[in-house]
Chain A
């Protein structure tokens, strides 16, 4: 997965990572110290400094921040302070490639039957045009699933993300019945997680490893957000359908393009699914106008992608 990401995504991710690294540990000294034994490649990348200036740095000086240590269940339940994550899905760009699904399934080591992202073939009225509609968890601000959970196994965090604690879930499946978006899946049998992941402790933020007899669903990849990276579906989509970002910063990006969230949703008439139910989703859709691709019914939804 990590190897076939495009260079522009690499740029962004590394940039974010470096910025995050600097902001977090104020380790400017060690950077300069290390810089002495690094040979410049001559390839410059533009970065935004902490002072808000655009600076050019040689690629060789960029160092991926090592994986942050695992956070505790308590911190996972609280969420990332000051954030309010939001997703925008541009329906005019989707041609049901399915790369989002594959990346997601792979990243979370899902059971072959499962897809956390589903791409529905939609047609609102008989005379209206069909289109592809990818659905993730809506991370509702008034989440029906969280309301019905008897044991606080599914919970809403301060950054807006709804997660599942598979170490606590009792498998009653009330949340599945409550979710109007049918986003939740259940590990009916052994989730077939490969080793060594299967014996790792469960993390609510990575949602891995999936456990038998518990519920799973799209988690907005908060582990990636902590690293300053985009969710797997966003970076995997070749057509830039998914935009992810922070409502408080009012920006969303698909890796290549970054928009002001409020302007994007305003100018392109963004909407949310089943607004009338009052669930207040965190996922916005841009209507399928001025399509990049025609709707090809022959690419009828395949059977679930086996990763």
Chain B
């Protein structure tokens, strides 16, 4: 820190530190946290009921054997890909403007992966047998591949969150008076070994660089393997060679949308107008346009090519999506999740903070329903007729427990992000300082 920092005028560095220093929750922050905690508590109670009575408390039955837990899992895995997009892909392509967004993207990735793992355990009929996955592991099951790559991705994401944090931890510990006792303990625990020497910086930067390269194939793998949970089966709507690419493009889109939303909310609540600039919304908006076009392209492939042929098993499935009982959600996901935000963000005015935020919300909400459409309709359109089952087995609408657990998991992910932003600078201080000083020099 010492060398680089000295090049910057102390005043501007101090201002950056003051601006970006973690702050106590205001009233809004407290209400927000409280609401999230309540939603989590309701979810936890619902899960207690599920543990007690079994998956019977859900609306899943033998045909709709996977429900919103699985679609929510796919959603979480998808949204976590944004970490690799912002941190790795943009960093490696020298798009320095993305620096203020790296930590936002990385904490979204980490919290999403945590809850993806939790929700998949929630979906298990016998969660207490979780260890069987390691005791009796069979490598040819795509579930095992998913376990391997998701845990790898989690570790890399955590490191990519942690390593750039080290210089910031040093800044945070310079004045213990400003922090609570818990914060000081935490900062010391995480970063007391960091001296900011040239050697440490070199190792750190080198590690970040290597991790950035590593995380790209791992990110592609986690979502490709997740798509294979479906594509390795025969079912209409899943039996597609397009699935890996389709899932990855959708994942990048929802991640981009989530970053737009998070940017706006952090900018508002922490008054970060000087750091999360309108220019940043403009650039991020353009990226989301590109991602939406990409996802739209894969959707065309995914739906229109089978629709052209109308093979018998696909026919019912596609009819129900296009014009049947899933039509409302289907067109909502296509229009609100892709086409409307795409059109909005095409215009400069649409890429201003608030409209971009709205577009981001549309992308994220649309994406959640899109995952529902990927999982449920296929299961309710089996090859053989649905026979010899009670009426309740023929359809699927999630029970309150499923909704509560799903909402609880979403709230939990937001809670991790909220607490993280309370404890650590959500915009990297050190990197912002060095970058601004470099820009000064270049001028």
Contact = CB atoms under 8 A, between A and B. Distances in A.
Interface of A: 101, 113-115, 118-122, 135, 144, 147-153, 168-174, 176-178, 180-182, 184-190, 212-215, 273-274, 277, 301, 303-305
Interface in B206-247: 229-230, 232-235
A181 B384 contact: yes
Given A120-B384, A170-B129, A213-B54, A150 B138 contact: yes
Contacts of B143: 148, 150, 172, 174
B390 A304 contact: yes
Contact of B132 (A119, A168, A190): A168
A170 B126 contact: yes
Contacts of A182: 62-63, 382-384, 386
Interface of B is mostly: loop
Contacts of B127: 170
A186 B125 contact: yes
B302 interface: no
Task: Please name the 4 residue pairs, one residue from A and one from B, whose CB atoms are nearest each other, closest first.
Answer: A171-B125, A189-B56, A213-B125, A150-B143
Contacts of A171: 55, 124-126, 129
A213 B127 CA distance: 9
Nearest to B393: A113
A118 B386 CA distance: 9
A272 to B, nearest CB: 13
Contact of A151 (B56, B62, B136, B234): B136
Contact of B389 (A115, A149, A168, A173): A115
A113 B389 contact: yes
A80 to B, nearest CB: 23
Given A150-B138, A180-B382, A187-B125, 8 more contacts: A150-B137, A151-B138, A171-B55, A177-B65, A177-B379, A188-B55, A188-B58, A303-B391
B54 A212 contact: yes
Given A115-B389, A135-B384, A188 B60 contact: yes
B9 interface: no
Nearest to A155: B138
A113 B390 contact: yes
Interface of B: 53-56, 58, 60-63, 65-66, 123-127, 129-130, 132-133, 135-138, 140-144, 147, 229-230, 232-235, 379, 382-391, 393
Contacts of B391: 303
Contact of B387 (A121, A189, A214): A121
Given A151-B132, A151-B137, A213-B55, A118 B125 contact: no
A8 B443 CA distance: 101
Nearest to A116: B388
Contact of A178 (B56, B60, B232, B384): B232
Given A122-B385, A184-B62, A213-B54, A173 B125 contact: yes
A170 B61 contact: no
A253 to B, nearest CB: 26
B234 A277 contact: yes
B125 A212 contact: yes
Between B60, B133, B232, B233, the greatest number of chain A beta carbons within 10 A of the residue's beta carbon is seen for B233
B233 A178 contact: yes
B56 A188 contact: yes
12 contacts: A148-B141, A151-B137, A152-B136, A168-B136, A169-B126, A170-B125, A177-B233, A186-B65, A189-B56, A190-B56, A212-B125, A213-B126
Contacts of B379: 177
Nearest to A303: B390
A173 B382 CA distance: 15
B145 to A, nearest CB: 9
Contacts of B136: 151-153, 168
Nearest to B135: A151
A118 B62 contact: no
Contacts of A118: 384, 387-388
A304 B386 CA distance: 12
